């Protein structure tokens, strides 16, 4: 699964000021509304409900919030780079500045897991995270996130 198949360039954003995990999830709601036509409050609520089950901060400044939404029919994503990291109750207690949210249909079993694994694999790569943190341009961030698609296809 390629990241370019689940992430639109318009779903990549740099956020200068998110003061909390809740505010970051609201930013994802706004981004999903603007890019995919979803309800911003519904998206933020679904992400918060998932966070209540256990934090999705995977460590090293990365979070992978995700939720199932009945109104979509395929896995979609959104990416936010934070200029100022926020506490995310991550496993390593480090604040988060890289967040990739995934949204899946309610019945997307394997597809959702494959997407989550693919994003996780990319964002575990320190070189990719370093490149992401060094850039503040959304189109450059999209290119960095999807460049591994081209490498794996070759």
Q: What is the pLDDT of residues 76-134, one digit of tens each?
A: 999 999 999 999 988 899 999 999 999 999 987 788 889 989 999 999 999 999 999 99
Mean residue pLDDT across the chain: 91
Q: Which residues of 103-137 are buried (b: 16+ CB within 10 A; e: fewer)?
A: bbbeebeeebeebbebbeebbeeeebbebbeeeee
Query: Alpha-carbon distance 111 to 150, whole Å?
Result: 20
Q: Give the mean model confidence (pLDDT) for residues 37-56.
A: 94
Q: Give the mean model confidence (pLDDT) for residues 34-47.
A: 97
**Kind and range of the H or E run holding 15:** strand 7-15
Domain spanning 3-153, CATH architecture: 3-Layer(aba) Sandwich (3.40)
How many CA atoms are closer than 13 Å to the CA of 150, on its beta-carbon side?
6
- Tell me whether residue 112 is one of the annotated catalytic residues: no
Task: Please write the tens of the pLDDT for every residue from 24-38.
Answer: 999 999 999 999 999
Task: Return the domain boundaries, the chain.
Answer: 3-153
Per-residue pLDDT for 150 more than 80? Answer: no
Give the max Cα distance, the chain: 41
Please tell me which residue in 66, 101, 102, 142 is annotated as part of the active site.
66
* pLDDT for res 153: 43
* pLDDT for res 2: 86
Q: Would you say the pTM of this structure is higher than 0.75?
A: yes
């Amino acid at each position: 699964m390629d990241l370019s198949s689940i992430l639109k360039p318009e779903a990549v954003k740099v956020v200068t000021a998110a003061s909390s995990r809740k505010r970051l999830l609201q930013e994802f709601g706004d981004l999903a509304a603007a890019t995919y036509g979803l309800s911003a409050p519904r998206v933020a609520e679904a992400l918060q409900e998932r966070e209540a089950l256990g934090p999705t901060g995977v460590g090293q400044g990365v979070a992978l919030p995700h939720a199932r939404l009945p109104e979509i029919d395929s896995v979609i994503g959104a990416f936010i780079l934070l200029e100022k990291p926020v506490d995310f109750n991550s496993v390593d207690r480090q604040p988060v500045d890289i967040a990739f949210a995934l949204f899946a249909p309610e019945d997307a079993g394997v597809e959702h897991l494959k997407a989550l694994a693919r994003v996780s694999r990319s964002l575990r790569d320190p070189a990719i995270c370093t490149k992401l943190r060094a850039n503040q341009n959304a189109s450059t961030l999209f290119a960095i996130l999807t460049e591994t698609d081209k490498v794996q296809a070759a």
